[in-house]
Chain A
Amino acid sequence: MTIARELFVRILAGAAVLWAAASLAFIVLQMLPSDPVQVIYGADATVTPEMRDLIRAEYGLDRPIWEQYGQFVGRILQGDLGTSYQQRRSVVSIIGSELGSTITLAVSATIFALTLAVFASVTTAGRRSHVRSLMSAIELLSISTPAFWIGLLLLTFLSFQWPIFPVMGDNSWRSMVLPVTTLGLAIFGTLSQVMRAEMDLALEQPFALTARTRGLSEWSVRWRHALRHALIPGLTISAEMFGSLLAGAIITERVFGRPGLGRITLQAVTNQDIPVVVGVVLFVAAIFVTTNIAVDLLYRLIDPRLRSATA
């Protein structure tokens, strides 16, 4: 199978996944016991019958279900995800305006986590030392500690106790340090453990021995050979990492009062702002699909064995 053809098949499959996600979202929406009109008006509001009818007409809720489904899919095909019940803005513009902040946070956190994980695995793989035990303990701690708590601890000590990184009145890089650390630590543990396990294996392989006999220093063997092997599983779990990042972003953005996708997702779910929830679901599904395709292509770049196998 050529790369182009495989890519085509993957994209087609991706579109099917998106359609399924959209339909599932629509079905769930229909199954909710709620009355959208009441949700639009909010929990505390009272609605006169005339207003109720007008709202139903405005959001097309008075039409038969199959017609609503047709319009729903039709609008999505045109890139229209509907209008938020709560914010009165189009879902596309809401996601658009919040995306930048989350991407900045997520990318910074990933770089932070990756740097830390590479450092941790290169220095401790294949060794039995106290440093390794300590590093494993830190990783386990970061995996098992909720991001929420990490965030509050960081805030308590580094902002409230010693005012190093302000939570208010500062929008410079200093305001980014604690959120990035919180989110970064949430993914560091898994990443580091997986990478070191792979590195442990790689360092026992014959090629590592060969490299050493060629006179390469221990550091070169680790950096230039073993690390490359460790990156493969790192990539494989990147889809899972993406999930962790999004979940972590919800917590991080809430604790630190930052704008972003996580915050609007949480807000939409608690307020039953269905168009936003559906929009975020579709958007995330689209990113998952794209990431998976991109990761498959990246494998070939990192691992030449795959390139020759399919060429």
Chain B
Amino acid sequence: MKNTILHGIGLALSASIFAISGPVLAQGEPQSGGTLRVATYEPLCLDQNEGSSRNTQTALQDVYDRLIYKTQEGEYYPWLASEWSISEDGLVYTFTIRDGVLFHDGSTLDAEAVRLNLQRWVDDRSANGVPVSSVVAQGNVVTLTLSEAHGPLLHDLSEPVHGIVAPSSIAAFSKEERCAGGPGVTIGSGPFKVIARTQGQDLILERNDAYAWPSAAAQHEGPAYLERIELRFLTEDSVRVGAVESGQADIAAGIPAISVANLEANPNLQVLRTQQPGIPWSLWLNQSHAPLDDQRVREALRIGVDYPSLVNAVFLGTATPAYSAITPGIPLAYDAGQEGRWSFDAEAAKALLEQAGWSEIGADGIRVKDGKRLSFTDLTATNWNNQQRELFAQGIQAGLAAIGVEYKREVLDFATVDARMKANEYDLVDTSQASGDGATLLFGAFESTSLWPANTNWGFVDNPDLDAALNAAVASADPDEQGAQVKIAQGIINDNAYLVPIANPQVVLAASTKVKGTVFSSSGQIGTYYDVWLEQ
């Protein structure tokens, strides 16, 4: 096998789409033409089978089309697949491929092209653990057979990473060439085609005038409105902000919390925000050893710090206090009933710690039991961290110190974090996870066999009731049933204090007021530019 991917729980995306605000869509008739200039992050590899990241998927979502489209509400719409069906036992998926779809080079997108793409996903990437036993194309129908039911499959296929690449490109170019990409190499069937790529600098897309096969969720038909999209890669937050403020960019991604107030006050700009779908920024509690094996200590961590006040003070309105293992960004799976299940109470936290035997307080103000100090090491990786979390952690440290608990946060390079996790040398892990698929997220983070490094059950949670709910969620292809099971799981996680959810992050972008019809993908990235238009 040759290839690897950067795809997984944390990167999994869905193609959900959702209108930012009423006025945006209400203003005037869409106008055709113009160049949209976007200040954003760089994709690595333009053939996502060779390696994908959130940036790659955002940059390429309009270059490659997918079989089906998923909205943020969790509904699926036909796209390249005009219809599909799932057998009763959940093992056989049949997709009918629509007629008349052409790749950018004029070749036909047919069932065989789809089969080839799915097959190389199975061959090169073990289908990311989806138990696929065969992929067959016959006429205009593609049949995908599983060895056991896997409910999230539709969601997986709706992600931008599953954009269909032209077989002509796969046959003619090496994986290195396809990764580097460029005009004539990066060939999809989407509303925009790649006309230039300068690595480290920009990616230029041009309208595909032949486009006539948008998803059923799209707001219009025919070719896209925009003539051209220039994705300019600017790594520095302040430079992206400056670019959109000075009118050099029409859209800037990744707006830091500190800049939001300024941008909102600017009459030429609109701030676009959405709830990040996934697992909130949380503390995973390692209960494989003392003292977090004691539920009273876990609960003390949950109520011992005034997290909501810290969220408001630090995230400046770009995050909301979290009470569940799923963010409100996944409406079908989010259990709003968990909100307010606990509140800050330092005295109750102290009482819980004392009940747990941590009643003696040492000279340094930290509780002691049998000669051991009540001290927690929190691990996180540099690429999971940001300035706000850094600042927030100082608040946690101060809050916990006040109830006699020592908190040390270590921000380390990923490789070191990986090694420490494998050696089980940590008490807490703080991070968030982004995905529009709640079932797979919670299965990966809390199911008893989903341990690191194959998955992210950093807490070593092992609860039969939770396992049952998570297995039922993952086995079901019915979004409502999946959602119901994920909600049950959220309740069990909170009953046992397996996780301390802290903040539901929002994704914030800034755009010129001339930009209309913008949407978000459920990953929180800016969604398809197909319906976007510029007021001339």
Residues of A within 8 A of B (CB): 32-35, 38-51, 54-55, 58, 85-90, 93, 97-98, 101, 152, 155-156, 159-161, 163, 166-169, 171, 253-260, 263-264, 270, 272
Contact B179 A101 (CB under 8 A): no
Contact of B341 with A by CB under 8 A: no
Q: Are A58 and B453 in contact (CB under 8 A)?
A: no
Count how many pairs of residues, one from A and one from B, have CB atoms less than 8 Å apart in the complex: 164
Judge whether B176 is part of the interface by a CB distance below 8 angstroms: yes
Partner of A40, one of B4, B230, B248, B433: B4
Task: Quote the shortest CB–CB distance from A223 to chain B (angstroms).
Answer: 40
Question: Interface size of B by Cβ–Cβ distance < 8 Å?
Answer: 61
Q: Specify which of A46, A51, A97, A155 lies most central, judged by the most chain B CB atoms within 10 Å of its CB.
A: A46
Does B53 have its Cβ within 8 Å of any Cβ on chain A? yes
**A263-B233 Cα distance, complex, nearest whole Å:** 12
CB–CB A270/B6 < 8 A: no
Cα distance A171–B456 in the bound complex, in angstroms = 44
Choice from A48, A152, A256 contacting B129 with Cβ under 8 Å: A48
A58 touches B381 (CB 8 A): no
Q: Which residue of B has the minimal Cβ distance to A50?
A: B126
Closest Cβ of chain B to A201, distance in Å, is 42
CA distance A38 to B418 in the complex (A): 8
Across the interface, B44 reaches (CB within 8 A) one of A86, A258, A272, namely: A86
Do B179 and A88 have beta carbons less than 8 Å apart? yes
Least CB distance, B94 to chain A, in whole angstroms? 26
Which of B5, B179, B232, B422 contacts A45 (CB under 8 A)?
B5
Q: Do residues A167 and B6 form an inter-chain contact, with CB atoms below 8 A?
A: no
Q: Give chain A nearest CB distance to B241 CB in angstroms.
A: 9
* Candidates B37, B180, B383; contact of A168 at CB < 8 Å: B37
Considering the complex, give the chain B residue whose CB is closest to the CB of A89.
B176
Most buried by B among A32, A41, A152: A41
| Complex A-B, nearest 5 residue pairs according to Cβ-Cβ distance, in ascending order | A34-B415, A259-B200, A44-B10, A45-B8, A42-B6
Q: Which residues of A contact B236 (CB under 8 A)?
A: 152, 254-255, 257
Contact bitstring B64-102, A, C-beta under 8 A = 1, else 0? 000000000000000000000000000000000000000
The answer to whether A58 and B176 touch across the interface, beta carbons within 8 angstroms, is no
Binary flags per residue of B449-464, CB closer than 8 Å to A gives 1, else 0: 0000111100000000
B176 A155 Cβ-Cβ under 8 A: no
Q: B103 to chain A: closest CB distance in Å?
A: 22
- Alpha-carbon separation in the docked complex, A263 to B41 (Å): 13
B179 contacts A46, C-beta separation under 8 Å: no
Please name 30 pairs of A and B residues whose Cβ atoms are closer than 8 Å in the assembled complex, sorted by A: A33-B418, A33-B419, A34-B418, A35-B415, A35-B453, A38-B415, A39-B415, A41-B4, A42-B5, A44-B6, A44-B8, A45-B8, A46-B9, A46-B129, A46-B444, A46-B453, A46-B454, A48-B454, A49-B454, A55-B4, A58-B1, A89-B179, A98-B200, A160-B243, A160-B245, A160-B246, A167-B242, A168-B243, A168-B248, A263-B200
CA separation between A263 and B198, bound complex, in Å? 13
Whether A101 lies near B4 (C-beta < 8 A) is no
Query: How distant is the Cα of A89 from the Cα of B242 in the complex, in angstroms?
Result: 33
